[in-house]
Amino acid sequence: MSSDRWSGILLLLLSLYICVESSRLGLGVYSRPGPGFLPFYSGLLLAVLSLALIFVGLRAVESREESWRNSLNIVLVSLSLFAFALLLEPLGFIGAAFLFATFLFKAVERRAWSFALAAAVLISGASYVIFERWLQAQLPAGLLGG
């Protein structure tokens, strides 16, 4: 069996355990959740995703070549994470995330410039909205914050 199938089976068993134990705590109702409400539905989501992983593992054709076998990609990703951390304060979150995503799409994945730039704008913008606006996390503003 492939690693995806084994991982899916293990995660499915874990999710079943989480659902059983959290239901013992009491689920409550949507308007008044009990202590087991969140763990139960998280376990249920994990079960669905585990089943999807098992299904994908069953249908996948075994491939001998993996992109991570190229050690240059590992070095590039590691260095880009380091650069992201260094550039986060001076450029701010949006600028650093944009450059990080652009570099990964262009240098590591070898995508076209149009795809790399469009995906980087989408990723950095969506990350900003999620973390700064919805979660109200204080992200470094950098050049944009003055």
Q: What is the mean pLDDT of residues 46-56?
A: 90
Q: What is the pLDDT of residue 108?
A: 87
What range defines the domain where residue 51 resides? Answer: 3-59
Total domains in the chain come to 2
**Rounded average pLDDT over 26-30:** 85
Angle (CA) 20 28 41, round 5°: 50
Q: What is the spatial distance between Cα 17 and Cα 66, in angstroms, rounded to a whole number?
A: 33
Task: Tell me the pLDDT tens digit for each residue of 96-126.
Answer: 999 999 999 998 888 999 999 999 999 998 9
Residue 8's pLDDT is 87
Quickly state the pLDDT bin for 64 (edges 50, 70, 90).
low
Asked if residue 90 and residue 135 are part of one domain, the reply reads: yes
Out of 59, 77, 103, pick the residue that ends a domain. Answer: 59
Q: Looking at the structure, do residues 86 and 128 belong to the same domain, yes or no?
A: yes
Quick one: 83 and 110 in the same domain?
Answer: yes
- 4 burial level (CB within 10 Å; 0-12, 13-18, 19+): middle
Residues 72, 137, single domain; the answer is: yes
Cβ atoms of 19 and 38 closer than 8 Å? no
**If phi over 0 gives left and psi between -120 and 50 gives alpha, with beta otherwise, what is residue 130?**
alpha
Q: What is the pLDDT of residue 146?
A: 46
Q: Are residues 83 and 137 in the same domain?
A: yes
